[in-house]
Amino acid sequence: MSNQQKERQRLDALKEKLNNYAYSYYVLDQSLITDAEYDELYQELLMIEAKYPEWVTLDSPSQRVGDQLLEGFQKVKHAQTMYSLSNAFNEADIHAFIKKVEEVVGSQHSFICECKIDGLAIALTYEDGLFVRGATRGNGQTGEDITQNLRTIHSLPLRLRKPISGEFRGEAYMPKEVFLKLNEQRDEAGESPLANPRNAAAGALRQKDPAKAAKRQLNIFMYNCSSQSDIEATSQGELLEEMEAVGLRTNSFRKECHNFNEVWEFIQTVGQKRHQLPYEIDGVVIKVNAFEYQEKLGHTIKAPRWAIAYKFPAEVAQTTLLNVDWTVGRTGVVTPTAIMEAVQLAGTTVQRASLHNVDLIEKLDLHIGDQVVIHKAGDIIPEILEVDLTKRKRDDRPVAIPTECPQCHEELVKIKDEVALRCVNPNCPAQRLAQITHFVSRLAMNIDGLGEKIVEQLLDHHLIENPADLYYLKQEDLLKLDKIKEKSANNLIQAINESKDRGLDRLLFALGIRHVGAKAARLIAEEFGTIETVMIAEAEQVGQIEGIGEIISQSLVHYFQQESSLKLIDRLKKIGVKTDFQTTVIGTQQTNEFKGKTIVLTGSMNAYTRNEAKQILQNLGANVTGSVSKKTDILIAGTEAGSKLIKARDLGVTIIDESTFIEKLVESGINDAK
């Protein structure tokens, strides 16, 4: 066999391995190899493809994100009409639907009830198992070709596990946690917030640059296929199982029901759990299970007679706007927050709602005393939807827009292309408070016991001005603070000293560099190894790191061009703060909360890869498994935790998030818990 033939065989083997690893990680929520091992194989694949570009195929992992901008979206005719669904809004509507079904097919039937994902309908075309085209629903008969953007979704298989052909239907969506983080980043950058996860997903899939679409971190659930598809199934339940078998991601939160009572019970169950789900839903879809009965029931011009969508009532509430509070963040952005009379909304008491920026206040024409309608964007963030103008009083006054910083009273500015007001005074006390509070937070330097109130006192007493000053504090300094006694002071000094060993990635995140989150900080630390190397890195070098874009790289370089940043790093180094990347994680206690426990990891983490977290837990004596059962003691849920989180709740399993996990690692003696 020639060397070229061997390389071709190796390339085919690499594609199969990498696609299988991606399927396991993004669809089955199981990690088979470490990130480093995956990266090594991926780089080998890129080297072979660079040598033989004619061997690059559509199912190669290298084709997930192309570097070619899309000029426009071509029209695509669907293999079969993508119908919309008729809606039901109450019990009577569901009763009527079931009655009509039974009039045609009798009572010996069942329904498959599925969550109605609030995303963007998509159609994926596969030929002999290869993903060749993806399209929007459009008008149901013709959609737009968004293949390149859909390729950026890691849970979408580029090649199915069987060589079948067909057009498969589903929903692309933005996970709630991703939506929340994106809006936090946009707020910090002075950009307009995304309205809701659905609009954010739709916008991502219509990006002209696939690399920008990839940053929206979308996911998919598939639920149907055209009649021309090769899937062999006689019912909706079998279809979902077959789609899972070939590698398509389906939603496991579904149920087969046999009568109205079972259907209505499932709707109520979903309604109770919808706010805990990692994705947004707006109802439940009820489908006649057997395909022979679906065919018998047929369609109207617009919708199938064998399915209906129960829509949850819009969860809104009306209350009185009492005031608007203006707060200054660590980057100087001044953010307005509505203060309202307390009201119940989506299971919680709401008194504050995000207003994001001045443009939104002006758009809503907000007046103090207004009756405002609020909802939870993405089931997470309380927001004002509109003002009930019929209830506005003559003496209600417009919300005053500040012209100076509410803390330092310096003039506020509106930087070009930003919608936010910003305080540009580097000595603003509010910015200092926010910056230092961020520095000591759990995912940053994790200085236990040093919260915002103590930081505020330290600033008020002029004991600190920047994060480095924390490491120069003495016990007598802390004893000057309110409610701090000798024992508390000693504990704080010890916690501050212990934080010196966190390592480069934690330090980079703690510095509060714009756009550099915990995950980006770790990627940068892994690449460069030391703070000295990071400080002299050029934007082009940083931008070449997988997962780091131009905005992050430019922001990082700009930060280390500031004289104040260089002085801060110099003082941190002199006092003994570790500024190199720590790769070894060691537990120092013989006993810990995880020892002997059966633990399941799910979702994505900012500070660790799942393999790293698994290794740490195993070092601590835990039994880490891949599935939730009655024997599971703890579920550690990262972002976009899915069906495992639901099952854990149903079984009463103890659930902790990433921050709590890190806190418990520190308690267990992990000396550089991220």
| 526, 506 Cβ separation under 8 angstroms | no
Q: What is the pLDDT of residue 347?
A: 65
| 276, 649 Cβ separation under 8 angstroms | yes
Q: What is the pLDDT of residue 587?
A: 46
The fold for domain 87-311 equals D-amino Acid Aminotransferase; Chain A, domain 1 (3.30.470)
| 384, 372 Cβ separation under 8 angstroms | yes
Q: Name the architecture of domain 3-63.
A: Orthogonal Bundle (1.10)
Q: On the CB side of 379, how many CA atoms lie within 13 Å of its CA?
A: 22
Residue type, 201: A
What top-level class would CATH report for the domain 429-574? mainly alpha
Q: Would you put residue 189 in left (φ > 0), alpha (ψ -120 to 50) or beta?
A: alpha
441-499: pLDDT as tens digits: 988 998 988 989 999 999 999 999 999 999 999 999 999 998 888 999 999 999 999 99
| 496, 474 Cβ separation under 8 angstroms | no
Domain regions of the chain by residue span: 3-63, 87-311, 317-407, 429-574, 598-667
- Low pLDDT (below 70) residues in the chain: 25-31, 34-36, 65-72, 188-190, 347, 377-380, 583-591, 640, 669-674
Q: What is the pLDDT of residue 477?
A: 92
Q: What is the pLDDT of residue 63?
A: 80
Domain 429-574 and domain 598-667 have a common topology:
no
Catalytic one of 6, 75, 100, 116: 116
SS3 state of residue 619: helix
Q: What is the pLDDT of residue 670?
A: 66
Q: What is the pLDDT of residue 571?
A: 95
The owner of tokens 């067909």 is: 166
Q: What is the pLDDT of residue 583?
A: 58
Return d(Cα 256, Cα 111) in angstroms, integer: 6
- Phi, psi (deg, nearest 5) at residue 293: -75, -35
Return d(Cα 279, Cα 643) in angstroms, integer: 11
The fold for domain 598-667 equals Rossmann fold (3.40.50)
Task: Establish whether 116 is a catalytic residue.
Answer: yes
Q: What is the pLDDT of residue 66?
A: 56
Return d(Cα 191, Cα 209) in angstroms, integer: 19
The fold for domain 317-407 equals OB fold (Dihydrolipoamide Acetyltransferase, E2P) (2.40.50)
610-651: pLDDT as tens digits: 777 887 887 788 888 877 888 899 999 887 677 788 788 878
